[in-house]
Amino acid sequence: MFDGSDALLLARIQFAFTVSFHFIFPAFSIGLASYLAVLEGLWLKTGKPIYHDLFKYWLKIFAIAFAMGVVSGIVMSYQFGTNWSVFSDVAGPVIGPLMAYEVLTAFFLEAGFLGVMLFGMERVGRRLHFAATLMVAAGTFISAFWILSVNSWMHTPTGYEIGANGQFLPGESWFAIVFNPSFPYRLVHTVLAAYITTAFVVGGVGAWHLLRDSANPHARKMFSMAMWMAALVVPVQIFAGDLHGLNTLEHQPQKVMAMEGHYQSHPDGAPLYLFGIPNDEEQRLDYAVGIPKASSLILKHDLDAPLAGLDTIPDDEQPPVGMVFWSFRIMVGIGFAMLGIGMWSLFARWRRKLYEWRALHKAALVMAPSGFVAVIAGWITTEVGRQPWVIYNLMRTADAASPLDAPAVAASLLAFVVVYFAVFGAGVWYILHLMHKPPHAGEYGVKRGDKGPIRTAGITPGPTQDPSDESKRDLSGGKHEPEDAP
């Protein structure tokens, strides 16, 4: 019923499924942890309770997103061994230590300070609590650093030797391994993507509440902050993405050929295809619509520069063009739509209509989840685009899998699919439920106890929350925490 190629395909689907699902959460929590640190820092600096309210509003959401990221992340740390054991054995000496560093410098940091960040305000005071928030935010970034170094090494392996037993062994310099050629670009592009993804979620939630009550000061504040991010960071991201693409052209040209739909070589200027149906069998782009010579202009900064196509690559070393071609267009399309929102928000600010322009709010609401789509599309572009290699030009994906029977892989894949949709579906539902509640003065934090509706008091402010009163206490450094009222 099954043969080896089925087991391989199932293992690939399983990895793609678990890693895509997992990455949704860090893409959000990397940005949200930093946003929380900014909010708490602003609260400490200015004493304005609105920042504290927003901090507590997003902290509740962060707690759920982070928990989902942790449990889906632990799955990833074992996927290498369960489904890709040959890869693990062969590449372990090089990438294993980087992942160990991720655990030592990032995971413990996040997890160790998370408890204090969520529950410890009253017990440690504001300054130490802020330090804990900073540690969690730093942990999310450090984690991205190491895991992207590992991923980048698999794309652009450097600094290794091949051992007598066939293992990849570290060369003399770990620097050459960690800072492999594609790593700086991938790190910047991915971390900016996480920040932008979070900004559009925050902006979308702000827009949603502005649509319901355009005077809500908390909604105004979060919308404004998010739109600044959209206006300022999206252009930087487009620039960074372009640099990343040029780096890919240098190190993984066939991936760029697939992204561009260039089956044929173009000796005197390659067109930029906007649309087309990739046809791998015939090795051509059907129904192609393109701008002559524009691809050469973008990639080589010269209209007439020659660009090689997939006809220069052996058939068994070509990536599947369709997925790469389309996922790349989805990512870029969303990127430019985000740029449009950012520019629109600047115009609205200039016209002093940022909080009243309902069309802008509706557009921002529609774009709220777009970061997740763009991020997943970007990963599909880069990961499918490096096929058939798992370690570029050195080890084929087909040679990396565990010696497992297809039914075993199929059964575990099915279990992951069912559990992930049920569990993370519920989590996303709870997050949406929290986002639906308007942010307000005297926001509750992450509280849990045995007396009644601890986390459901969305509408009624706590008894002691007089904002002016709170800010006075803030300035005097008093120990009473308004959110700790029963």
Minimum Å gap between C-beta 152 and other proteins is: 18
> Do residues 220 and 355 lie in contact, with contact meaning Cβ atoms separated by under 8 Å?
yes
> Which residue among 222, 240, 341, 404 contacts other proteins (CB under 8 A)?
404
Stretch that binds other proteins, among 225-233, 315-323, 351-359, 426-434 (CB under 8 A): 426-434
> Which residue among 64, 192, 202, 375 contacts other proteins (CB under 8 A)?
64
Residues 171 to 190 in contact with other proteins, rule: CB under 8 A? 172, 174
Which residue(s) pair with 272 in the sheet?
A: 291
What is the distance between the alpha carbons of residues 82 and 430, in angstroms, rounded to a whole number?
31
> Do residues 379 and 20 lie in contact, with contact meaning Cβ atoms separated by under 8 Å?
yes
Residues 371 to 400 in contact with other proteins, rule: CB under 8 A? none
Stretch that binds other proteins, among 79-87, 203-211, 241-249, 279-287 (CB under 8 A): 79-87
Sequence-ordered list of residues with C-beta below 8 angstroms from that of 417, at least 6 positions apart, any chain:
17
Sequence-ordered list of residues with C-beta below 8 angstroms from that of 449, at least 6 positions apart, any chain:
none
Judged by beta carbon, residue 411 or residue 475, the one nearer other proteins is 411
Sequence-ordered list of residues with C-beta below 8 angstroms from that of 188, at least 6 positions apart, any chain:
240, 244
Sole residue written with tokens 């410098």: 105
Helix ranges, 84-125 (H): 85-102, 108-119, 121-124
Judged by beta carbon, residue 87 or residue 372, the one nearer other proteins is 87
> Do residues 108 and 70 lie in contact, with contact meaning Cβ atoms separated by under 8 Å?
no
Tell me which residue of 260, 351, 297, 143 sits closest to 252, measured CA to CA: 260
What is the distance between the alpha carbons of residues 301 and 134, in angstroms, rounded to a whole number?
42
Does the protein bind other proteins through residue 127 (CB under 8 A)? Answer: no
Does the protein bind other proteins through residue 82 (CB under 8 A)? Answer: yes
> Do residues 365 and 65 lie in contact, with contact meaning Cβ atoms separated by under 8 Å?
no
> Do residues 134 and 104 lie in contact, with contact meaning Cβ atoms separated by under 8 Å?
no
What is the distance between the alpha carbons of residues 32 and 43, in angstroms, rounded to a whole number?
16
> Which residue among 19, 37, 54, 116 contacts other proteins (CB under 8 A)?
116
Tell me which residue of 120, 59, 71 sits closest to 434, measured CA to CA: 59
3-state secondary structure of 329: helix
Minimum Å gap between C-beta 469 and other proteins is: 19
> Which residue among 9, 13, 44, 75 contacts other proteins (CB under 8 A)?
75
> Which residue among 162, 419, 432, 475 contacts other proteins (CB under 8 A)?
419
Sequence-ordered list of residues with C-beta below 8 angstroms from that of 486, at least 6 positions apart, any chain:
451
Minimum Å gap between C-beta 243 and other proteins is: 29
Residues 7 to 46 in contact with other proteins, rule: CB under 8 A? none
Residues 85 to 104 in contact with other proteins, rule: CB under 8 A? 85-86, 88-89, 91-94, 96-97, 99-104
Minimum Å gap between C-beta 216 and other proteins is: 23
Q: Per-residue DSSP letters for 52-75? A: HHHHHHHHHHHHHHHHHHHHHHHH
Minimum Å gap between C-beta 236 and other proteins is: 32
Judged by beta carbon, residue 17 or residue 228, the one nearer other proteins is 17
What is the distance between the alpha carbons of residues 268 and 242, in angstroms, rounded to a whole number?
22
> Which residue among 15, 80, 263, 273 contacts other proteins (CB under 8 A)?
80
> Which residue among 123, 301, 352, 479 contacts other proteins (CB under 8 A)?
123
Stretch that binds other proteins, among 170-178, 237-245, 307-315, 326-334 (CB under 8 A): 170-178
Judged by beta carbon, residue 160 or residue 357, the one nearer other proteins is 160
Judged by beta carbon, residue 87 or residue 325, the one nearer other proteins is 87
Minimum Å gap between C-beta 127 and other proteins is: 14
> Which residue among 15, 23, 57, 113 contacts other proteins (CB under 8 A)?
113
> Which residue among 78, 275, 336, 421 contacts other proteins (CB under 8 A)?
78
Residues 273 to 312 in contact with other proteins, rule: CB under 8 A? none
Interface mask (CB under 8 A) for other proteins, residues 447-476, using x and -? xxxxx-xxxx--------------------
What is the distance between the alpha carbons of residues 234 and 342, in angstroms, rounded to a whole number?
8
Strands 395-396 and 389-391: antiparallel
# of chain residues touching other proteins (CB under 8 A): 84
Sole residue written with tokens 């290699």: 389
Does the protein bind other proteins through residue 417 (CB under 8 A)? Answer: no
Tokens of 472: 């006075």
Minimum Å gap between C-beta 108 and other proteins is: 5
Residues 427 to 446 in contact with other proteins, rule: CB under 8 A? 427, 430, 433-434
